[in-house]
Structure 1
């Protein structure tokens, strides 16, 4: 039991998370390296950090500080105690707009600080591509820079003061001119005095030289700035507890110029000429990056906004007015051309915020995009962010490509070309000893190459485990000695992040995807067609860029609710990978720890599109549950039995089908469940969360209503003689058995549009409930049976219209992965569309439009719209928005992603708090704040159920909105 003092302080022992589930989530950061920590702790205060350091000393553990875990060089991992400040130690203490400073704790996320500063017209200058989730403490530790460093510099240059806790629990403040500890100040002055000439000639020679320690800041001409010298120490000298950082004034207006060149080499050669007034970014990327992006699902046409070329520079230009910024941006092409080194092929200047954001999104997703090459091959960090003086970048890049070709390696370049820094992910083969040897050969030769150009093996991410060994290649013995003296001044016992910078570990030690990473070779049920049929190939997608830790967009709901790394997509991927490795999660598919990590995954599928490498955790979770529990009745008995909710929720379509064999049973069941004690007893026996409300059933299925209607009207039988085109309405289990209103509305709408509506004559089901509960054998049987029912309709070539988004995604996406050789599955996938897509296509084709503008109480209708998470991630909602715009509906979109119910997830015990927390994130507040008469639009049955329980509103579907817009029957 955790005990606390009366002041709320938690003892260090109680802060430790030493369970295998947590440790598995922290084995890596965004690098290729793996270290299993002894324990993880998430302190809330300086006092708790002090106690943790004392406990670590007592147990002989080394200590690593960690923020967002987006370090690419293996800086934020270790085999001792990992202190994660991102979850709780993350306050913005104060902002002084007059002084242009902020005082913060290290766990503050970069965008969190930028947003807070933005209220005063200020911003925090450093902005790496991970700015939505990296912490400022981590940025300072690695001396991160970002795209605006041309104007605003590195994290070191934006650091005014830093307070650091040493291994003995003392806090020292570092500033320009001194430290708060006289002895430490004297020691640092001595290091400067002993190495003054070397510091002036080897360090600080160009903007992105961040390898090693920044000891040049100790020079007199730099103001003996001990704070800036501490930046870039990568957690090797102490734990940051507080920082004062500089804020900068944002330009009043900006324009984005994108210049294209024949290739990335020409872009790199052109970049130095653009280091002129008002230009705050000079970002580059190569054409292969677009090819890699376009292989992603739904991204086939990405990058159309870019001017034609094989390499690009992104140049943001500021001005006092928009016209001034745009005029300055238009001058950049001529500046490059007049330099006479290369020619600009094309150029565009963009000022509209949405267009600017779309262009930047391509560049900022690069770190994830390029982990998969255009042919689908894997690419890895390692030689991640080398830098040279900008005037040498073009030549250096050509030589680097020559080295790649010589060793039969490939990569895609991008980076901060204006400052000579280039990022590249490379097709290293880490699965074999020979491949690892090629990796070492390349890295050693690349280090010699970058040294020849007067460069640095790291330009912003730090040296970490990836490059610390290479410091002896680019620096003199005297420089290395000064680094050792500096670390010893802060950390004489070598407690903090050993193996990094000083006394470095070998670059090929403990590579995560290296030989021995797969003890278990497991045959999946899903085809995994995008990963060569391999579970391990799918898990290698995640390199840890951490987009799942951002609260922007829809990914990852459970991390947003908990702030726990275990419950991020990345944490789950690490657990699955450790399960395959089998050295400390030893039970393979039976791993209880991996089951725990997957438990709060809502299977919302946001990661399938929002993750830069398209991790599809919903599919991986389904596959895991299938193997973990097994199939059939035996899976519900014994020690490793399935939750009872897998029976009641997973087999709900069959249960509903059976209930309707006897007329009147659904109505009787509804009446019985209105007796609360009986309802709660039934829910408890069914393994369902008793604080939920029991779902109700339609009096009779939609299909029965449709058959009866067709019998009396003749609509269904044969050709009605009008020549109307036929469409198939998919009777998903929710619409068919629980909420038939949307189905009836869809029939009326489609007929009003001039179509003959058909509904399958036998029971059909997409199998979604079996998929979400991991009962894949039953799912395949159900889908195969359904395809038999659908065969005549598929042969006729009719479009199939889905109303329930999750079922539509199953038909479009999942069934071809489960039955990859069945041509009927392929045909059904290709012919299935949402109602919104079908209506939008009908409108675009000039079809009949029987609808009136929709009004409520004499004014244009307004709607709060909750897009189902599967639709948002896999189908898109643009067609629906076009239809709603045509109807005159003013739509306020809920931007928080999944509603929180997520099918069976919200009904399973233990998930209620997360489910309701997600509802309260944005959905419930938007509905409560909406004006009277506002439509609450939600196509998902789960979304409407969550809305009904969390608010006083009742959600309706697009089909019902369209029906309301039909003129009254004459």
Structure 2
């Protein structure tokens, strides 16, 4: 058989590449039970990790078991192609991308095989997620010590590959310190169990250790965070010739792990967190040794720049307010048998630091508040990749480490290196271990910028080595730092690394280019080799990306928060399908590749991209939950706008995309006619015809339309439309959104009653108004602009006079606040609306004392489903404050999207994903709630999903407020 010579498909001869790849794929499919994917979409999605690098793989194989791995390796040997074992793809140094056959372990080989509480070990498959192992160990009072910030999506196999650490390394060390045994397959098919090593490999390694042992002892830096290079020190007699630990940190360059036995540690029953504020990060770094004397679990650090970036990028996130004053912070976590014991230890740390520059400290032991504080630190990597004006920052020099006693000195020198090269960086990191994380504003788009990147990296490496440190203290060498290893190790040790690699992989087919015989660190830079080729003339403004859609496609850095199983809102379609293609990251990768046209070649008409975006709910959860602020809802709108420009659209775009127009016509009918329409919609045959014509899922019911719209009944009650009558609190303009107006007008009636009770004069627009959301979400941008512009002109007098506009429907209110300027960036009224619109809760939040005094009767209990767009663009602090004032004992569900998401859940082909999203948390929680518990859902989509699922009748905050104040009907 002819050899397949791997080259980058972006620059290779297409015909030869396709023929060889097709033969390889066919052979793999014959012997592998798992998925074998060589299509452009999957190659595009696996072309990048969380680093600066891009290498398009030959194909992606998802083995179901060890036999599949062995079979895949055998075929790859026959075709002489490289192999890359890969976990969650969150590597920051570029070791998880290569022109190779990728073995993806996330889909199938992800089980905890055995857990021995007495031995404190667990045997796992490589695709097990870190948190999955921790959850399995928790009932036994145990945990897995290493916990990177990606702990809810990174895999144990990936952690072994990178020698990952995390925030608790001060207490429990790196992955290497927690590895008991590995079972691996080499490229040539040899199986090695490190618990009972047999064959030539162990013998060759012993000979190598005997020969280079003294040089390893002399040249390896003495620090806890040495991750760079191979672990030759673990082969030394004093370390017990530990083959398992020698393999950790090899970045998939030696063998493929098929099972691993990991050490578990005792998890303190209770924990507390001391957040120590210092004048700057230097002083915080200077004093980590003092904190270490108290034997904490964690010593993390942050710079003020991270908080500034968080506040600018995500205004609705307010967790930073809990930080003490300062310009640099240390997070010090302590553990104890009881919450009080843990808290006492944390207070002792804070007290001890008063004479070491401490400005102020906050000690917290409430798990929820601690989680909110930790979120700031854990999202740091993503937060720092974008400045408020759209400026970009990148990894590269990401996680170097020095002895912690030298950390303050290193930090000052590092800033001088930044200044010398004209670069800026904001940092955070594992200060207690002398490990610094930083994102730097490298120019990776131009050749001079890349030359500056190389020069900076070389100088930064020299600064670390001068401080006795390691080029990598956590994420490994990969494509980012392997080339720099000769600056850290002498030539004979580099030669020993090459010999070590050769013992396991004499063919150099396991993830070549990393650690030894390295790729150049300034080659394969993703945004340089993936330059866009399509015109960049977007329909939306993309104001946060300097008006550029292709710049927006660069936002995703692959940190992978969207591929988590629970928590937050994103990404509901990934959680329903488990498919990378239906994650925010997968879609962003496809859009990036669509823009450069090298692998995804169909542009706006590409069906792979269309298929991936089809299951995007446009929930906007990623806009807030993604640390980088990827807004897939906006990208989907842009894609649809261009794909269907001057073309026939799907039926649902005409039916649901233009829903306000059809409802406006219905609203002019007499009540009897509306009753007739509702009756016809309940006739199965007729409803079926209507749904087929409108592209609506046959499983969905057609919601009943109100007999009389809110504005019709309000005007009959002489609710004023012009200048207000005198009211003690002044005027308000109530925005009569389409959904409240035509489906739930009683909500608006209750809202008016509450607002008038508080002393406001409530006014209505003289004509129908609409935010244009349904047109926006279906990519009908031109129509959305016309609708919104007409509405803004209608309420111009109120906007000009600064009269607050109050919205009741979260999706519409969010559209007015956040989307208007994207549709009409040059329209002053859009900016005025963005600053002038208020949610019902935001208005009431200014009167909590008055509400508390006016509440009549016993308080209610409620489960609260936050609308996704409210979560993304509006926040919920005001809602929580109002509910507390009204005596509502509220449990805000961490349920994610309800699954209906406007038109999404009604569209044909989306019903299963829609209901799967609802069944994750929301519907089980509602079904399990006591009968007297209200289900509060301000969003029409959320209420409709609950109604059609037969859970129970939901309510709006306005209805609960009216009842609590004795105003409801």
| TM-score calculated relative to the size of structure 2 | 0.93
Query: Which residue number in structure 2 is paired with residue 889 of structure 1?
Result: 888
Name which of 130, 137, 156 aligns with 1:136. 156
Query: Which residue number in structure 1 is paired with residue 3 of structure 2?
Result: none
Per the TM alignment, residue 882 of structure 1 is displaced from its structure 2 partner at its CA by: 2.5
Query: Which residue number in structure 1 is paired with residue 599 of structure 2?
Result: 584
For the pair 1:291 / 2:291, whether they are aligned, the reply is: no
Alignment of 1:421-460 (within 5 A): 421-460=435-474
Higher mean C-alpha displacement, 139-148 vs 957-966: 957-966
Name which of 360, 371, 374 aligns with 1:357. 371
Structure-2 change in CA distance of 1:202 and 1:703 (3 Å) = same
Per the TM alignment, residue 428 of structure 1 is displaced from its structure 2 partner at its CA by: 0.6
SS at match of 1:481: helix
For the pair 1:500 / 2:514, whether they are aligned, the reply is: yes
2:317–2:875 Cα contact (<8 Å) kept: no
Per the TM alignment, residue 260 of structure 1 is displaced from its structure 2 partner at its CA by: 3.1
SS at match of 1:349: strand
Structure-2 change in CA distance of 1:852 and 1:382 (3 Å) = same
Name which of 132, 140, 147 aligns with 1:112. 132
Q: Which ranges in structure 1 are unaligned for 5 or more consecutive residues? A: 1-8, 637-641, 855-859
Query: Which residue number in structure 2 is paired with residue 218 of structure 1?
Result: 235
Name which of 760, 763, 767 aligns with 2:772. 767
Query: Which residue number in structure 2 is paired with residue 77 of structure 1?
Result: 97
Name which of 629, 635, 651 aligns with 2:647. 635
Structure-2 change in CA distance of 1:141 and 1:818 (3 Å) = same
Higher mean C-alpha displacement, 580-589 vs 865-874: 580-589
Distance of 1:59 and 1:424 partners within structure 2: 41
Structure-2 change in CA distance of 1:163 and 1:777 (3 Å) = same
Query: Which residue number in structure 2 is paired with residue 626 of structure 1?
Result: 641
Distance of 1:848 and 1:348 partners within structure 2: 30
Query: Which residue number in structure 1 is paired with residue 806 of structure 2?
Result: 801
CA RMSD of aligned residues (A): 2.3
2:389–2:546 Cα contact (<8 Å) kept: no
Per the TM alignment, residue 538 of structure 1 is displaced from its structure 2 partner at its CA by: 2.2
Query: Which residue number in structure 1 is paired with residue 42 of structure 2?
Result: 22
Structure-2 change in CA distance of 1:581 and 1:819 (3 Å) = same
Structure-2 change in CA distance of 1:10 and 1:245 (3 Å) = farther
Structure-2 change in CA distance of 1:674 and 1:10 (3 Å) = farther
Name which of 705, 718, 737 aligns with 1:697. 705
SS at match of 2:257: strand
Distance of 1:881 and 1:948 partners within structure 2: 24
Distance of 1:152 and 1:722 partners within structure 2: 64
For the pair 1:594 / 2:606, whether they are aligned, the reply is: no
Structure-2 change in CA distance of 1:391 and 1:733 (3 Å) = same
2:88–2:560 Cα contact (<8 Å) kept: yes
For the pair 1:68 / 2:72, whether they are aligned, the reply is: no
Per the TM alignment, residue 276 of structure 1 is displaced from its structure 2 partner at its CA by: 2.1
For the pair 1:553 / 2:553, whether they are aligned, the reply is: no
Per the TM alignment, residue 93 of structure 1 is displaced from its structure 2 partner at its CA by: 1.7
Query: Which residue number in structure 2 is paired with residue 164 of structure 1?
Result: 184
Structure-2 change in CA distance of 1:887 and 1:537 (3 Å) = same
SS at match of 2:262: strand
Q: Deviations over 1:462-498 (max 9, x none)?
A: 1011111111221122212222222222222222111
Structure-2 change in CA distance of 1:414 and 1:728 (3 Å) = same
SS at match of 1:609: helix
Distance of 2:741 and 2:815 partners within structure 1: 17
Per the TM alignment, residue 603 of structure 1 is displaced from its structure 2 partner at its CA by: 0.8
Per the TM alignment, residue 35 of structure 1 is displaced from its structure 2 partner at its CA by: 0.9
Q: Which ranges in structure 2 are unaligned for 5 or more consecutive residues? A: 1-28
Structure-2 change in CA distance of 1:718 and 1:150 (3 Å) = closer
| TM-score calculated relative to the size of structure 1 | 0.93
Per the TM alignment, residue 98 of structure 1 is displaced from its structure 2 partner at its CA by: 1.5
Query: Which residue number in structure 1 is paired with residue 23 of structure 2?
Result: none
Per the TM alignment, residue 724 of structure 1 is displaced from its structure 2 partner at its CA by: 6.4
Q: Deviations over 1:366-386 (max 9, x none)?
A: 111221247652111111111
Per the TM alignment, residue 662 of structure 1 is displaced from its structure 2 partner at its CA by: 3.6
Alignment of 1:91-240 (within 5 A): 91-175=111-195, 178-179=196-197, 181-203=198-220, 205-240=222-257
Structure-2 change in CA distance of 1:867 and 1:325 (3 Å) = closer
Per the TM alignment, residue 323 of structure 1 is displaced from its structure 2 partner at its CA by: 4.4
Per the TM alignment, residue 289 of structure 1 is displaced from its structure 2 partner at its CA by: 1.8
Query: Which residue number in structure 2 is paired with residue 6 of structure 1?
Result: none
Distance of 2:389 and 2:694 partners within structure 1: 48
Higher mean C-alpha displacement, 728-737 vs 775-784: 728-737
Query: Which residue number in structure 2 is paired with residue 648 of structure 1?
Result: 655
Distance of 1:36 and 1:906 partners within structure 2: 34
For the pair 1:907 / 2:911, whether they are aligned, the reply is: no
Query: Which residue number in structure 1 is paired with residue 941 of structure 2?
Result: 942
Per the TM alignment, residue 242 of structure 1 is displaced from its structure 2 partner at its CA by: 0.9
For the pair 1:390 / 2:394, whether they are aligned, the reply is: no
Higher mean C-alpha displacement, 774-783 vs 86-95: 86-95
Query: Which residue number in structure 1 is paired with residue 753 of structure 2?
Result: 748
SS at match of 2:321: coil
Aligned length in residues: 939
SS at match of 2:700: coil
Distance of 2:728 and 2:442 partners within structure 1: 60
1:132–1:552 Cα contact (<8 Å) kept: no
Alignment of 1:446-595 (within 5 A): 446-514=460-528, 517-550=531-564, 551-595=566-610
Structure-2 change in CA distance of 1:481 and 1:717 (3 Å) = closer
Higher mean C-alpha displacement, 27-36 vs 158-167: 158-167
1:278–1:318 Cα contact (<8 Å) kept: no
SS at match of 2:322: coil
Per the TM alignment, residue 720 of structure 1 is displaced from its structure 2 partner at its CA by: 4.7
Per the TM alignment, residue 517 of structure 1 is displaced from its structure 2 partner at its CA by: 1.4
Distance of 2:316 and 2:686 partners within structure 1: 50
Query: Which residue number in structure 1 is paired with residue 54 of structure 2?
Result: 34
For the pair 1:617 / 2:632, whether they are aligned, the reply is: yes
